[in-house]
Structure 1
């Protein structure tokens, strides 16, 4: 089957969004599908054209980056739709697979309707809630409500909807979307990239001064909703209980400056290390140094509904995982079995949970094995992508039946 993915942005940019996309496209190609993607205006300055990256083909939308204001967004959607249409003519897909935000789905819907192609629309998060979590939006504001309305408009017009977790599916059903229209394609790990846990990188440990430390780590993006301020606030109590405890923060993002200032003012500032962003190919080296990966997400709509990717990567690497007890984490982590859950928004609870893990290592290996097995069996992209196939086939067959009388025959 020929599948054209419609994306907000893609490789070579690095984000959880692009890593999930790469995993899907790579796994589908390995399974025998023919895949390509179109990226939108937010990819950055581009003259358009076709660009190969990591063995994948990306059709680029021309422009100078993120559209500004309402007129800019409307113009951006029009340019995106024009580029998608050109990619359809060039690639001749059987189906369009658009990924959130809803602006992508809207542009794809116009092209799908014009060409008689089926449209699967995939929601990775409700972007109005993501804006609240990022500190760039306010719940209940005009923009929040408009984004929510646009999402429903696209959902109603797509032939099928995919979501990344049960939280999003349940929320859509509560809004009145038919349950049988929604499939769950959960976050997963490409085990060809995170296949074998790396041995401890002694040279890197020496460079970072982590020789005999008990290392608590976070590897990811520094957004306010990640709760890294609570993790830093927990460090004095954790160090009091475990004097060799050190926090290693790998990544960057909007909250970085505030977090660095908070850490510098901490009475245990010498026990908090910032590494900055590292190339994705280097990430395994940092995982190898960490005893416990901590994910202290704050409790809000975004984190209650959406499952993150990073805890799965940590489990694939054979690392222990400790996380706040928000809904997105509860879908991934079984407390006391594959990981540890602690109360959200509570530095004291974080310190207690982490100190307890560091004090008793007797169950570490069992928990690591169970976490790794969970990823292999339930969150492995090589098998996850099979969930799409049944939906693709159903939609393409329906489009082909419709083409018998439609003025716009479906591609085959």
Structure 2
């Protein structure tokens, strides 16, 4: 992995002007007999590796797959001195500022002189944008000016975020802004059929296909369950553990999770709560659930152990477009109680491998959890069904679909002359 820093002072907003992006026209290799080794992919990400989340881990896996099959890839993203994990492939830094109120995230403001020069030298034949931020807009303009195809991947429900910050009134405006961005792209890929349908209903684009998510079965499987690890946390062998897995931010439904746990407790059903993850809302969540066990960030085999050592996963979030945590729990043999929303709807089969509940329905969530807390046979039956379904998700097969979409878009551009 090679990280190329941006030019000092390149963060000026005036560098956003598209006129600065003009230069030599780029042309890729002849793709008359296309294969992955003919691809030259310029990937733009608002967060490629500086904060760990499911979206950027999927992007890193995609880049790794492309590189292994002979494609050339350059990644353009903000960088920090101490990223959450090492980037896959060559990473070119974009000028960025901290997101107001969420300083752990960076907003890339422009392509910047160094990135523009790097793009010209790299000469991509397809551009992939993964975030509708200012640099994503500039990348789309840059590609359209040169007649290059643009694929946009949708990783989160940005349009739902304002409701968690008492700004629900702005959602229609944000949806309109997103529609303008995505309609300038040649095609979209979404991680679940339920999310793809939302995008179709919102008229975001007319070429929308699936880029699902996979799961590492070496890391996530029932064999990772560790009763000694549970015991070290003060959890009895016969206790039923309700787990939360994810970044600790309010848009993950932390308030709904806490209210549901309160409801379950008031009804007298014994259980324990284990929270896996870190984030700016941790202090709020800990104060709200003082009896829960917070184990912080877990990675690799430690994460697999933590998930497999739960008994049921509770995922009330409505912002996911896929739900990596849901799939990881299923692979570990856990039933999942989730909000009936994009992502979860494509993974959880109601009354088969978990429960789908109307978003925000606290009493219904608590009743679904009660069923698993009080019935070990039901937990085992639905957990086994979830593990069986998880076998359908292979990373290589999934990433191949993205590569094939690149090639299709390139062929379409060539046919258009």
**TM-score where L is the length of structure 2:** 0.77
**Gaps (5+ residues) in structure 1?**
47-51, 70-74, 404-412
Are 1:321 and 2:352 matched, yes or no?
Answer: no
Does the 8 Å contact 2:253/2:317 carry over to 1? yes
Distance in 2 between residues matched to 1:177 and 1:343, nearest whole Å? 25
Does the 8 Å contact 2:311/2:379 carry over to 1? no
Aligned equivalent of 2:352, options 320, 330, 337? 337
Q: Which residue of 1 aligns with 2:6?
A: none
Does the 8 Å contact 1:338/1:368 carry over to 2? yes
**Gaps (5+ residues) in structure 2?**
1-38, 102-106
Q: Secondary structure at the match of 2:156?
A: coil
Q: Which residue of 2 aligns with 1:383?
A: 397
Give runs of ≥4 in structure 1 deviating > 6 Å: none
The CA deviation at 1:126 is 4.2
The CA deviation at 1:344 is 3.3
Q: Which residue of 1 aligns with 2:389?
A: 374
Q: Secondary structure at the match of 2:376?
A: coil
Mapping 1:81-92, distance limit 5 Å: 82-92=113-123
Q: Secondary structure at the match of 1:371?
A: helix
Does the 8 Å contact 2:241/2:273 carry over to 1? yes
What value does the CA root-mean-square deviation take over the aligned residues? 3.1
Aligned equivalent of 2:63, options 19, 22, 25? 25
Mapping 1:35-184, distance limit 5 Å: 35-40=73-78, 43-44=79-80, 53=86, 55-63=88-96, 65-66=97-98, 76-78=108-110, 80=111, 82-133=113-164, 135=165, 138-141=167-170, 144=171, 147-177=174-204, 179=206, 181-184=207-210
The 3 A distance-change label for structure 1 pair 94 and 362 is: same
Are 1:189 and 2:204 matched, yes or no?
Answer: no
Q: Secondary structure at the match of 1:340?
A: strand
Q: Secondary structure at the match of 2:224?
A: coil
Distance in 1 between residues matched to 2:54 and 2:357, nearest whole Å? 24
Does the 8 Å contact 2:195/2:343 carry over to 1? no
Are 1:293 and 2:313 matched, yes or no?
Answer: yes
Q: Which residue of 2 aligns with 1:407?
A: none
Give aligned pairs, total: 371
Give CA deviations for 1:9-33 in whole Å, capped at 9, x if unaligned.
1125312222222232233334443
The CA deviation at 1:55 is 4.3
Distance in 2 between residues matched to 1:288 and 1:250, nearest whole Å? 12
Distance in 2 between residues matched to 1:170 and 1:343, nearest whole Å? 18
When structure 1 is superposed on structure 2, of 188-197 and 103-112 the one drifting more is: 188-197
**TM-score where L is the length of structure 1:** 0.78
Q: Which residue of 2 aligns with 1:409?
A: none
Distance in 2 between residues matched to 1:238 and 1:146, nearest whole Å? 38
The CA deviation at 1:334 is 0.5
Distance in 1 between residues matched to 2:163 and 2:269, nearest whole Å? 37
